[in-house]
Structure 1
């Protein structure tokens, strides 16, 4: 029996998620999207029962413009609905294109994508349900997500937590709130409790990566290394000529790689000369910079993707005698090879802006973050892990966009700048025992919204559970959500008010 169409928008880029989606193949028209070449046949017929949607056709306006209906137009009454996505779209372009496009070209691509995706949705049989394995962060994914919302197509996004193997399903893409879908089979609460005070495998892996980052950052790139890098980019361009910056001439790609290497070395030299290698002597609030570009800032942080805005707000709101310790992310400088997608994220201008703030202190990237968090009076971040790590240690924190733990009273979202000084005063007054009690209560109240799973193969490798166990759990969640998605859904929780109340979506 066909229960409608299910579009797993990015699952072909994550083999684990593609395997889980096969649970839907017998009961729905299953479409799986990807940005690479068509995945090779697995040899297992049970894993090949889907239609493939190729996002490569929408990377540039010239690629799909001939296929657009020459008479199609976006109704004027709908243009305003696309403004939130337009901001996120514009911010995401630097992530994938090295050559900046003019504003006119950016708008042409944006509205062209809307026309193309509206036409696709119109001709796709209903009911239609869309899933993303990760937050939509590529330009075309961001636009498609907004088109779905405008046309009342339900979209669900898998979001991981820092509790090992705990995943939630979000029905929104907003820096101000998240709409969680209640799973039919929540994760075992005892597992959550057991893992509550431990660093999750994902975080442990991040620590090991950070340890290696300094070694890579200071490693000299000699002639042999440059030859290896050149060969790698040459192979990438031959195989991935359709992908973003690989469309540039090979010599231009290598010129950018050399320029990116110079940027990285300049950033490291600036930190070596100007950043502290120890915690401030005064009472301080810890702010951990995000690795960029990443979906945690674009689109999840919204306006605060430019992190200096959050830093300025926070520094201005601190009580007298307290300083803001701002630490660079180690991986921002620890490229194994020059990362072209970071070409537009040179950090030295950000470091200088931080140092111009009287009560802000710049901390070197390779100082251990755990020691800083442990000595901080409070933590802060746009959407990052530092606040949750602080909660585990009994230290309050604040974020500037909604996170999976915004419902914890000791780690709330600050949605209004004028309320920040009072919020900081209240958080600083919390004793350690109260913060820990808030943390435990948050786990008790929210474990029912998380399900056992993963959303990519790296998370599967770090899990304490088998691939099959995780796959079966994710598959059941996808099935339960999709098969009933054409009916009014209930048991959807709005996290934006930081309360445990329930509302219907």
Structure 2
């Protein structure tokens, strides 16, 4: 069986050891990863074509691939993957935001044509990703594989209790979890039937014990922010201190992202009936591709606004990471007028970023989002959730998948009729998550939180991949 590995890297995480073990039973036909020379001894993989991640992003072919016979994508293929094109052009905001729309389309055509040729000449049986593909070319590979009937495998990573779950299609969700919950939905399950780490997560959001903030979100300024003294030192070193000081002062005292948000934000009245919308940090996989068309979070809010019951309001709060990463700067996702446009909607209010998220969830009638931890936090607190995106947990009791005004209105009618979340089914869902997931990580920031050594992590990942590849071979 021939495997393609896309963005599978992390020597220090045990990820390369996983590939060495897979090679005992499978052919590693193609491997895209960053820093190849540092990560891999290519001599150990004599049958593998290696492709540098940065080159793949720019649409440059792998050195050992003969592209002389490759054809540009046909009109038929472009039409079949028209949704992919739309998603990818937006996804380019993150790393290729300097390109015009025309340049982005040219790059997309080049990437699609190349990988179409690679698939025809090197014929993979399974394409493996560490996570949901979200870096332009990997999404093209994923969607192209789907259109050709080639199997795909990836992991979804939970962000509080540190677990991984394999899946083959992020739109359909985790089939193993869905099957498990369907089979056990009406069983009587108690918390004692669930592993300690997941049980502790449930307790944080149901018993008000301990800090409910996800571990990866704590001390964000320390993790992601850059100290002003460091920025100043860099500017002095590269002789740009006067230029950068001028630009900073112009932003600080002129129009900027933070000021626009502060100008339109108001203290919320928690006694009102409201839907809470926690904006998600962008750019990130949680909205692109997992938000689908609702990568435009204003569209999500506008859809809710059009469906909202009379006398209800929507409270919108920005993700704290947005300002930590982008500071005062407007961006492709938070352009000038972004918050002002949201605040002008008649039944929508923007609230200060310092407003406690869990107080907003607790006082709300419902929570609405694409994906993200706030969805699970809400249902554990007894609040229904309108999920616009492809959240891995959308089969959980209390989660309603919506995509338009009509589906939102139907959910609001259900809520107004006295809907409540079945507690036993909710606990059963988490028991099923416990059964189908495993401890492991594919990202550096999760390594310390997980507690497994790289060798133990390699064991867990290898076991999961072999099981999933074996299952695909017989379905």
Alpha-carbon distance in 2 for matches of 1:165, 1:293? 22
What is the CA RMSD across the aligned residues, in angstroms? Answer: 4.0
Confirm or deny: 8 A CA contact 2:361 2:378 kept in the other structure.
yes
Alpha-carbon distance in 2 for matches of 1:260, 1:29? 57
In the TM superposition, residue 474 of structure 1 has moved relative to its aligned partner by: 1.5
How many residues of Structure 1 are paired with residues of Structure 2 in the alignment?
453
Alpha-carbon distance in 1 for matches of 2:49, 2:84? 27
Confirm or deny: 8 A CA contact 1:6 1:28 kept in the other structure.
yes
In the alignment, which of 381, 395, 405 is matched to residue 383 of structure 2?
A: 395
Tell whether 2:414 aligns with 1:414: no
Alpha-carbon distance in 1 for matches of 2:177, 2:368? 28
In the alignment, which of 158, 162, 167 is matched to residue 165 of structure 1?
A: 162
- Alpha-carbon distance change, 450 to 458 in structure 1, aligned in 2, over 3 angstroms: same
Confirm or deny: 8 A CA contact 1:290 1:297 kept in the other structure.
yes
Confirm or deny: 8 A CA contact 1:284 1:376 kept in the other structure.
yes
Which residue of 2 is the match for residue 141 of structure 1?
138
Q: Secondary structure at the match of 1:303?
A: helix
Which residue of 2 is the match for residue 197 of structure 1?
202
Tell whether 2:26 aligns with 1:28: yes
Alpha-carbon distance in 2 for matches of 1:330, 1:377? 23
Confirm or deny: 8 A CA contact 2:258 2:328 kept in the other structure.
no
Alpha-carbon distance in 2 for matches of 1:229, 1:38? 31
Confirm or deny: 8 A CA contact 1:315 1:324 kept in the other structure.
yes
TM-score by length of 2: 0.82
- Alpha-carbon distance change, 41 to 295 in structure 1, aligned in 2, over 3 angstroms: closer
Which residue of 1 is the match for residue 4 of structure 2?
7
In the alignment, which of 244, 262, 287 is matched to residue 251 of structure 2?
A: 262
In the TM superposition, residue 211 of structure 1 has moved relative to its aligned partner by: 6.7
Which residue of 2 is the match for residue 116 of structure 1?
114
TM-score by length of 1: 0.77
- Alpha-carbon distance change, 403 to 41 in structure 1, aligned in 2, over 3 angstroms: closer
Confirm or deny: 8 A CA contact 1:163 1:195 kept in the other structure.
no
In the alignment, which of 165, 175, 199 is matched to residue 180 of structure 1?
A: 175
Alpha-carbon distance in 1 for matches of 2:331, 2:261? 19
Unaligned runs of 5+ in 1: 235-249, 490-505
Alpha-carbon distance in 1 for matches of 2:160, 2:416? 25
Confirm or deny: 8 A CA contact 1:180 1:449 kept in the other structure.
no
Alpha-carbon distance in 2 for matches of 1:402, 1:225? 38
C-alpha distance after superposition, 1:2-57 (max 9, x if no partner): xx222221112574233333320212222574453224267999899965332333
Alpha-carbon distance in 1 for matches of 2:19, 2:112? 26
Q: Secondary structure at the match of 2:345?
A: coil
In the TM superposition, residue 179 of structure 1 has moved relative to its aligned partner by: 4.7
Q: Secondary structure at the match of 2:38?
A: coil
Which residue of 2 is the match for residue 499 of structure 1?
none
In the TM superposition, residue 100 of structure 1 has moved relative to its aligned partner by: 2.5
Which residue of 1 is the match for residue 306 of structure 2?
316
In the TM superposition, residue 161 of structure 1 has moved relative to its aligned partner by: 2.5
In the alignment, which of 297, 313, 319 is matched to residue 307 of structure 1?
A: 297
Which residue of 2 is the match for residue 84 of structure 1?
83
- Alpha-carbon distance change, 85 to 431 in structure 1, aligned in 2, over 3 angstroms: closer
Q: Which moved more, 1:38-47 or 1:342-351?
A: 38-47
Alpha-carbon distance in 2 for matches of 1:410, 1:41? 44
Confirm or deny: 8 A CA contact 1:192 1:447 kept in the other structure.
no
C-alpha distance after superposition, 1:138-184 (max 9, x if no partner): 1111111122122221111211124613222221243xx3253579x
Alpha-carbon distance in 2 for matches of 1:377, 1:190? 30
Unaligned runs of 5+ in 2: 182-192, 206-210
Q: Which moved more, 1:8-17 or 1:353-362?
A: 8-17
Alpha-carbon distance in 2 for matches of 1:71, 1:160? 36
Alpha-carbon distance in 1 for matches of 2:112, 2:328? 30
Confirm or deny: 8 A CA contact 2:198 2:434 kept in the other structure.
no
